[in-house]
Every structure is written in C-alpha cells, then in structure tokens.
C-alpha cells in the first residue's frame, strides 16, 4: 500500500509562490501536489504564459498533478477567473489545448474532471478527453465526485490504464458517512482490477469560516481532519487537502482580513488566531513559539522548517520579513508534511491565511 499526500493549490500568486518556496527544499517523493488551474496567468500583471509560470515553480524531478477547473455555474469571482471559466465553457477544446501546452513537463499528470452542474450535457467527454490526452501523456488522473459518481466512473473504466490515478473528491462531506461506503468498496474493486492508484481528497476548511469567527489560540472545532488517519483503512493509497486554505473561489470585492492558522500534527487540530496584521510580531508569533506548540518538535526540525525559520525572523525583527508579512506577500504552506526527512511523516504546518469576511 502506497502512502501519498496531495496538497491542493490554485494557480493564484501567493499559492504558487508558496509552492515555489517549498520546492527549494528536498521534497519526499510521496508528496504529489495538485495545482488547480483557475486562470490563465497567476497574476493580471504577469506576461508569462501558464507553461512558463509552472516551469518557474515546479521541480523538474518531482511529479505534480494539474486539474483545469470547469464550472458552468459559479458565483461572481475575480475578473481573471471569470474570464478563464467563460473561455472554457465557450470552447470545449481549450482545455485540451492548455494541457497540450504543458506536455513538455515529463513529471506532470493531467487530471480529467467534470462539471457536476453540466454532466448530463457532456457525457462521454471524459472518454473523449482521455483519448486526446493519451497522445501527450503516459499517465493520466481522473477526478470523481459524489454527484454522478457511477456514471463518471463507467466512463473512466473504459479508458483507464495501469498506474493511472483516480481521485475521489468528497469536498466538505464527512468521510465516515454510511452512504459513502458503497463508493469506497467500488473504488477498491476498480483499483485492484486495473492496478491503479486511488486517492481521496477533501476540504476541511469550511467556506463560511471567516477571520471574525476565529478565537485567539483556540482550536477550530468545525474542522474534522480524521481522514488523515483513516484513508488507508478505507482502501486508498493517498489523501489530500487544501493545506489550511479554503477550496472555494474567492469572492469578488470581498474584504480581505488577515488570520493565522496553526496545524498541530500531534493533536491533529487547527488552532486559530485573529489579530491585526501589524500585531503579528508582537502577539501571534510569540504565541506560536510557546511551549504548548513549538516544543512538540525538535530544534533540528525548527532549523530546517522554512515556516519556522520565518517565524523566528519575524520575532527577531527582520525588516524584510516584516514587510513581506504586512504586504501579504509571504504565505507558508508546508502541506502538513516533513520536508527534511526520508520518511513519509506529517508535521505541524504554520500557515498565514487571509479569510474572506463577507
């Protein structure tokens, strides 16, 4: 049984920068990031193509997955994302063209997904896209959701080959609900019959969680992360999440307010902080490095963990990091995995996030 972890990010500036920062360290080969493409460029000011940006971000020798998000019905979001989604909806071949432009990445695994709100009008699109992408990629992944699970799975079975990947995205649904059991059983059958890898992913940060709702230095009890400890018993080879970031698209024109979430592997819990950003050094950082959290891990780990080092630099009044924090330019997504270890272990993740206050 393999044990993979998949952090899921969107190709937005801060998340891509965080991924690039992570790739500067030795990444365990069992970590396979999934990048959700939600816009052509990671920034409206960027002149780089999607391909060029990924080349600047990803590690040459490390596998990563890419899913081009398709939503025929979606809330109004950022202009660049709206434009991208409309372009996808108006031109079914645009997705294939984008994947083709990325075919130079030998370590890229394209993910074929479907739009739940439009599946009945696009039946057999999974089959069609799979046949086209097989001309460029040897390994393909397929994303399943609860809605249209069996219909989509039947399409996938007709084109899947050995070592391909099926990702079951249960979104915000509790993993241990009884009605999911039949899906797990079916995926185990498919996995062994076709010799593929099966992952399960979820989103533990609820869409309605806001900075206003966080209580300082108190666990966020609405977050249930038990899937981390139970995905193997369900028959999956790996699991994934959004690494303390919301899975939903950002609202257009929402107020952005800083918040801080600390993830403790030891307790498998998320601890929230709510302060003004200019109080980060004076209040949040000292709270994070207090014995309750900081000393769960060794000094050797702290010296290798990029986010831990950043916290220390903030405490030491490193002006560069002060500016980076105050301008919301430096997010540290450690993906809840050990970076400097040969084993597949999980660690504490320190993540500065910016929650939407509606």
| Residue 197: strand pairing partners | 165
Classified as helix, coil or strand, 345 is coil
- pTM here is 0.85
Residue 324 has pLDDT above 50, yes or no: no
Q: In Å, what is the CA distance from 40 to each residue of 50, 74, 158, 253, 330?
A: 6, 17, 31, 20, 22
Q: In the structure, what pLDDT confidence band is assigned to residue 269 with cuts at 50, 70 and 90?
A: confident
Write the CB contacts of 259 (distance below 8 Å, at least 6 apart in sequence).
211, 214, 272, 273, 274, 352, 353, 354, 355
pLDDT for res 30: 83
Q: Which of 217, 223, 348 is nearest to 271 (CA)?
A: 217
In tens, the pLDDT along 35-80 reads 999 888 756 666 677 777 777 666 656 789 999 988 876 666 677 8
- Record the tokens describing residue 237, joined without a space: 């080879």
Helix (H) or strand (E) holding 7: strand 4-10
Is 77 or 134 the better-scoring residue by pLDDT? 134
Q: β-strand 4-10 against 238-241: which pairing, if any?
A: parallel
| Domain spanning 4-357: CATH 3.20.20 | yes
In tens, the pLDDT along 251-264 reads 665 555 566 777 77
Residue 356 has pLDDT above 70, yes or no: no
DSSP string, 303-326: HH-HHHHHHHHHHTT-HHHHHHHH
- Separation CA 299–CA 317 (nearest Å): 20
């Amino acid at each position: 049984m393999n044990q993979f972890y998949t952090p899921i990010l969107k190709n937005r500036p801060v998340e891509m920068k965080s991924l690039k920062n992570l790739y500067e360290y030795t990444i365990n080969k069992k970590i396979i990031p999934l990048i959700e493409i939600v816009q052509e460029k990671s920034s409206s000011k960027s002149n780089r193509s999607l391909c060029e940006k990924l080349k600047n971000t990803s590690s040459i020798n490390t596998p990563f997955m890419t899913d081009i998000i398709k939503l025929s019905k979606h809330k109004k979001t950022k202009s660049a994302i709206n434009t991208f989604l409309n372009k996808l909806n108006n031109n079914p071949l645009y997705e294939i063209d984008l994947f083709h432009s990325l075919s130079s990445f030998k370590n890229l695994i394209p993910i074929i997904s479907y739009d739940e709100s439009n599946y009945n009008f696009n039946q057999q699109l999974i089959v069609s896209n799979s046949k086209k992408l097989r001309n460029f990629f040897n390994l393909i992944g397929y994303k399943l959701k609860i809605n249209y699970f069996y219909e989509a799975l039947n399409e996938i079975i007709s084109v899947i080959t050995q070592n391909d990947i099926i990702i079951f995205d249960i979104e915000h649904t509790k993993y241990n609900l009884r009605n999911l059991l039949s899906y797990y059983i079916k995926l185990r059958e498919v996995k062994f019959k076709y010799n593929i890898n099966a992952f399960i992913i979820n989103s533990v940060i609820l869409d309605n969680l806001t900075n206003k709702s966080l209580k300082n230095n108190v666990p966020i009890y609405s977050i249930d992360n038990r899937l981390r400890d139970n995905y193997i018993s369900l028959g999956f080879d790996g699991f994934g999440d959004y690494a303390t970031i919301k899975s939903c698209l950002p609202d257009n024109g929402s107020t952005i307010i800083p918040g801080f979430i600390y993830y403790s592997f030891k307790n498998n819990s998320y601890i929230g902080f709510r302060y003004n950003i200019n109080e980060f050094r004076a209040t949040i950082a000292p709270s994070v490095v207090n014995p309750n959290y900081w000393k769960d891990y060794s000094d050797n780990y702290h010296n290798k963990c990029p986010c831990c080092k950043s916290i220390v630099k903030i405490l030491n009044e490193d002006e560069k990091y002060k500016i980076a924090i105050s301008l919301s330019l430096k997010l540290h997504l450690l993906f809840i995995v050990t970076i400097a270890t040969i084993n597949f272990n999980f660690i504490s993740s320190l993540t500065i996030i910016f929650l939407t206050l509606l």
